[in-house]
Structure 1
Amino acid sequence: MNEKEIAEIRRRFRPDKSNITHVRGCYVNDKREIVSEFDQSLALMPQEEGEKILTTLKRTLSGTLGKNLVGLAFATEQVVDGEEHKLLMALRGSSLKEDDAVRAFYQRVIDAVNLEGPYLILLAHDTYDVPFRSKDGETLDDASSEIYSYILCSVCPVKMTKPALCYYVPENSFHSLRPDWLVSPPELGFLFPAFDDRSTNIYNALYYTRNLTENHPEFIEAVFRLEAPVPAAEQKEAFQSILSETLAEECHYDVLQTVHEQFREMIEEHKANKEPEPLVVSKDTVKSVLEHSGVSGEHVAAFDRKYDAEFGADTCLSPRNLVDDRQFEVRTPDVTIRVNPERSDLIETRILNGARYILIRADEGVEVNGIDIRITGEA
């Protein structure tokens, strides 16, 4: 799924757009026991509560594609005869009305998920009469291309609030607010089947994780019988380690500045062009950037080998997972310098009188603890 397709489904989670009539789920305590199950009608609850439930579910489709949201692909054998795929299809096909399938799914999740404290498993089913979209991009609401039927799962931690003092305006008095259990935003979840090319794709699912450092591989294994993709934070850490190890003495400031700048420009261009497909770079693209930065053939070859060992020769990565396009940071054990990523050229490194220095050009507007200072010295 691309960003436009995700956004199209996200817009479904409004009372006037959605065909979600009820939400099923269960409350799991910290001992991994189901305390209660519920099948709640959105039509019978107050509008405000129904909107909050839809908002909670919609957060499972939030975040950055490639970081929080990643596509999972089933093998053909799984789709034909896989128990895990059959269960997901049973949930979808019955519109979550098949109790045995729902409870079997609950148990799979409970056996795999190890969150701190209690949590909710939420399940919703929706049918979307997909409007026809012409080649020029115009959407015709009265002309449908197909009906997209899907399920959405959200796993939400439930946390105890702290006691607080509240002021009640009608009574003109203060009261103590007792601690209570509060449903937090989803920690993980998924959409099945995928909405690829604005059409149903039972071979794919869209997986969500809130934490970029933890994608809950045990959940992916239990529900999809697939190997979890490397978390975005781990990709970044591995990429940085590869550069540091393979470039060795050629790992200069100018080289890393160029890599960051090239990736940042790719991200900006991709965003400006409103490209629907996720932005990725290949190993050869990174090698080309290193070569143009003056890195020797020997170290580029070392990068090539290390990349293959870590990610695989044909693996493409998202630049958003490798650099922070909104920040450029230089750090020493005692000093951290954060620079506008568009002005990383203001920094340079030098050796003066045998000592290493980081130099920052400062033409005007220099402050120390909020006070303007003058920089004086020899012209």
Structure 2
Amino acid sequence: MNKKEVLEIRKQFTPDNCAITRICGCYVDHEKNIILESKDAFLSLPEEEEFKYFEIFRHTLSGTLGKNLVGMEFPLEQEEAGGTQEFLLKLRDTRLEDDALVQEFYEKIIENYDYGENYYIILIHSVYDIPGKSTAGDEMFDASDEVYAHIMCSICPVKMSKAGLSYNAVTNSIADRVRDWVVEQPVNGFLFPAFNDRSSDIHSVLTYAKNPEIEQPGLIETVLGSVMPLTPATQKETFQSILSETLEEDGDYEVVKSIHENLSEMIEENKDNPEPLTLSKTEVKKLLENSGVPEKNMETFEQVFAEKAGDKTELLATNITNTKRFDIETPDIVIKVNPERTDLIETKLIDGRQCLVIAVDDHVEVNGISVRTVPKRTITDPNMDEEEELL
């Protein structure tokens, strides 16, 4: 799913657009015991509750594509009889009205979800009548050719509210606040089927993680039957490892700087594209070649990439570089450079030592104190008895 498709589904979580038919919930404690189960026609809920649920559902489709929101395809074996895809399709097609099936879903989550505190599983069924679009891109609500029936799961922490004082209007006094258990915004969730090309894609699921670095292999691999993707941090580490082993001793400053600049340029050119920029093995190879990596180093690239990432892995460009930072580090020194002014730094051999030379033409501060950028010059005036120091 791209940005526009995610936003199109998010817009359904409002009172005017709501197409949710049923909502089911399961409150689980830190010992994996079911404390409460609920099931309702969504529109039968009090209006105040609906608004709070809408906020949770919108959060489940929030964040950055490729980081918080990741589309995953089912492996072929999961699309066979008895696979996870078949189970999710049954949940959707029964509109969450098969209690035994919903109960089985809860049990799968509880058994495989790794969370040491209380949490609330919310499962909804929704039916979106997809409006057609004109050649100009305008929605035509009277020209729908497809209904997008889907389920969405949100997993929300349930935590005790903070202790404190509050005003008691009955006694007109300040007193100890009553603490209760509060359902917080979701930390994980998924949408099935994915809404790809503005249509149901039963071969894919969109997953959500508030913190993509906290992996949930049980949820992804067992409940959804998909393959656990590389986290953003792991993608960055993998890319750096691929570079290090490909460049070996030839990884000089200019080449690495060129790779960063070319990547940043590619991200900038893609910023208006609803699809996030991802790089396959072929595209990473082209990037390195265009950045001046010697041909002899590229001879081992494909083998290195396959070993570190796998032939079919795609890396999200914004995960493997930071366009807003350019840092240079030694064991004792860290230099932070404006990414747009990397030209101010060059490497030079001085007195037999490899040095980084920083061009300084403007104001310089050290620990908040302005320092001079031009050294003192000593000039001898033949008409004076002593040397005069001039700035």
Residue deviations 1:294-313, cap 9 Å, x none?
Answer: 32222222232110222233
- Alignment pair present for 1:47 and 2:47: yes
Q: Output the CA distance in 2 between the equivalents of 1:358 and 1:162.
A: 52
Q: Given that residues 258 and 289 in structure 1 are in contact (C-alpha distance below 8 angstroms), is that contact kept between their aligned partners in structure 2?
A: no
Aligned to 2:276: 278
Q: Does the residue aligned with 2:142 lie in a helix, a strand or coil?
A: strand
Whether the 8 Å contact between 2:241 and 2:308 is mirrored in structure 1 is no
Amino acid in structure 1 at the alignment position of 2:209: T
- Give the match for residue 328 of structure 1: 326
- The number of aligned residues is 377
Q: Residue 373 of structure 1: CA displacement?
A: 4.1
Q: CA deviation at 1:172?
A: 7.7
**Compared CA separation, residues 115 and 346, structure 1 to 2 (3 A):** farther
Q: Report the counterpart of residue 267 of structure 1 in structure 2.
A: 267
Cα deviation, residue 254, structure 1: 1.8
Letter of the 2:17 counterpart? K
- The residue that corresponds to 1:10 in the other structure is 10
**Counterparts of residues 294-373 of structure 1 (less than 5 Å):** 294-355=292-353, 357-373=355-371
- Please give the alpha-carbon distance, in whole angstroms, between the structure 2 residues aligned to 1:61 and 1:222: 22
| Structure 1 pair 138–31 and aligned structure 2 pair: CA distance change class (3 A) | same
Cα RMSD after superposing both structures: 2.6
Over alpha carbons, which structure has the higher Rg? Answer: 2
> Aligned residue for 2:197?
197
Post-superposition Cα deviations, 1:174-219, rounded to whole Å, max 9, x if no partner, equal: 4333443332322221100111111111111111222222331221
Q: Distance in 2 between matches of 1:345 and 1:178?
A: 60
| Aligned 8 A contact 2:113 2:216 in 1 | yes
Q: Would the alpha carbon gap of residues 34 and 322 (structure 1) be closer, same or farther in structure 2, given more than 3 Å must change?
A: same
What is the DSSP-based 3-state SS (H/G/I as helix, E as strand, rest coil) of the residue aligned with 2:143?
A: strand
Residue of structure 2 equivalent to 1:290:
288
SS at match of 1:142: coil
TM-score (norm. length: structure 2): 0.87
Equivalent-residue separation in structure 1 for 2:198 and 2:332 (angstroms): 52
Q: Given that residues 154 and 186 in structure 2 are in contact (C-alpha distance below 8 angstroms), is that contact kept between their aligned partners in structure 1?
A: yes
The equivalent residue for 1:118 is: 118
Instruction: Say yes or no: does 1:175 pair with 2:175.
Output: yes
Structure 2 Cα separation of the partners of residues 254 and 31 of structure 1? 55
Give, in whole Å, the separation in 2 of the partners of 1:45 and 1:331. Answer: 57
2:189–2:208: 8 Å Cα contact kept in structure 1?
yes
Matched, 1:214 2:222: no
Q: 1:18: Cα distance to partner?
A: 1.4
The letter of the residue matching 2:121 is I
Task: Tell me the distance in 1 between the aligned counterparts of 2:332 and 2:4.
Answer: 44
**Equivalent residues in 2 for 1:116-155 (5 A)?**
116-155=116-155
If the length of structure 1 is used for normalisation, what is the TM-score? 0.90
- Quick one: structure 1 residues 351 and 164, their matched pair in 2 at CA, closer, same or farther if it must change by over 3 Å? farther
Q: Is the 8 A contact 2:67 2:232 kept in 1?
A: yes
Contact 1:282–1:316 (CA under 8 A) maintained in structure 2: yes
Sequence identity (%) = 44
Residue 338 to residue 185, structure 1, CA distance change in 2 (3 Å): farther
CA distance, structure 1, for counterparts of residue 61 and residue 11 of structure 2: 10
Letter in 1 for 2:259: V
Judge conservation of contact 2:77–2:83 (CA < 8 Å) in 1: no
